[in-house]
Structure 1
């Protein structure tokens, strides 16, 4: 029984249903952690005490034993403070958003590369209008070399280099825009409060 405060009527502790919901959330988080590779785990703020339990859960492949070890991992995770688990959840959510942004950026670069190879100088002029810091001569040279490689059936060295140059130009502009947005937000003209 969890009991009630006689004066306020509030319960002393969470209900069993609430405890179960929280335990199931931690179990789902444990399943996600076990599904990650070692390099992915290394990038997350996983408490050191949990790493051996995660590795042990990955190692066990028998269904019932794996399920039991996963429940044990979740029990160990519930012993950690809530802040550590929240940091872990945030880092994992951020990975999902970061991966989607990375894929979108990669597609944008590939589209520009194909446009440059198909449309030539017209596409280069549009690219330079949108990303003025890109190197015109270098882009033109890489487009010419890529077309030459294709004609001669050579390995795609210039094709890959063109991708790297475009990526640097496009992502460099995106980072510059993000920095400018941060600066404009902080310089809103309002007086600072002490």
Structure 2
């Protein structure tokens, strides 16, 4: 039982450095949310330690699964997050080798800056040919990340 409580406290401690937007997305109880915000303000060692214990106590009232899923996603440890990144990499490779894929992307995203896309593809191919650092290759990946945002977190209980 004590091991479980310590695990919840550690999970709560991992939430402290997170940005406010992630905490809001978790829909935490108001007391826990306020305690996490307050923990960012504290500096005295003893006060921080007591406050972490308080957060651990409040964590007992919360389902830890969505919190752990968010932390795993932010750390890049989730299978879903890795699958999303691999999908973007395959899309980028397809853009570099298949002209039809470029046209499909342009048709699917009419607000896309076509000139920028074509220039990134041209520069990425040129970098590969000249064996230069893959600057445009990476920029193309970042562009795809904006076009295809990561799917929202799914509650693990709903997957079953």
Q: Do both share a fold (TM > 0.5)?
A: yes
Greater radius of gyration (CA): 1
Q: Kindly state the Cα deviation for residue 118 of structure 1 after the two structures are TM-superposed.
A: 1.7
For 2:70, which of 90, 94, 108 is the aligned residue? 94
Aligned to 1:162: 140
User: 5+ residue gaps in structure 2?
Assistant: 24-35, 153-160
Q: Kindly state the Cα deviation for residue 46 of structure 1 after the two structures are TM-superposed.
A: 7.9
Contact 1:131 1:170 in 2 (8 A): no
Of structures 1 and 2, the one with the larger relative CO (CA 8 A, separation 6+) is 2
User: 5+ residue gaps in structure 1?
Assistant: 1-20, 57-72, 179-194
Q: Secondary structure, in 3 states, of the residue corresponding to 1:42?
A: coil
Instruction: Describe the superposition over 1:105-145 as per-residue Cα deviations: whole angstroms up to 9, x where unpaired.
Output: 322221111111121x2111222344343322221111111
Q: Does 1:25 align with 2:4?
A: yes
Q: Count the aligned residue pairs.
A: 127
Q: Kindly state the Cα deviation for residue 154 of structure 1 after the two structures are TM-superposed.
A: 1.5
Q: Secondary structure, in 3 states, of the residue corresponding to 1:134?
A: coil
Distance 1:28 1:151, change over 3 A: same
Q: Secondary structure, in 3 states, of the residue corresponding to 2:143?
A: helix
Q: Secondary structure, in 3 states, of the residue corresponding to 2:133?
A: coil
Q: Does 1:104 align with 2:104?
A: no
Distance 1:115 1:82, change over 3 A: same
Q: Does 1:152 align with 2:127?
A: no
User: Where does structure 1 differ by over 6 angstroms across 4 or more consecutive aligned residues?
Assistant: none
In structure 2, C-alpha distance between the alignment counterparts of 1:167 and 1:85, rounded to whole Å: 36
In structure 2, C-alpha distance between the alignment counterparts of 1:26 and 1:138, rounded to whole Å: 52
Q: Kindly state the Cα deviation for residue 159 of structure 1 after the two structures are TM-superposed.
A: 0.9
Distance 1:165 1:87, change over 3 A: same
TM-score (norm 1): 0.49
Q: Kindly state the Cα deviation for residue 28 of structure 1 after the two structures are TM-superposed.
A: 2.7
Contact 1:113 1:162 in 2 (8 A): yes
In structure 2, C-alpha distance between the alignment counterparts of 1:42 and 1:131, rounded to whole Å: 36
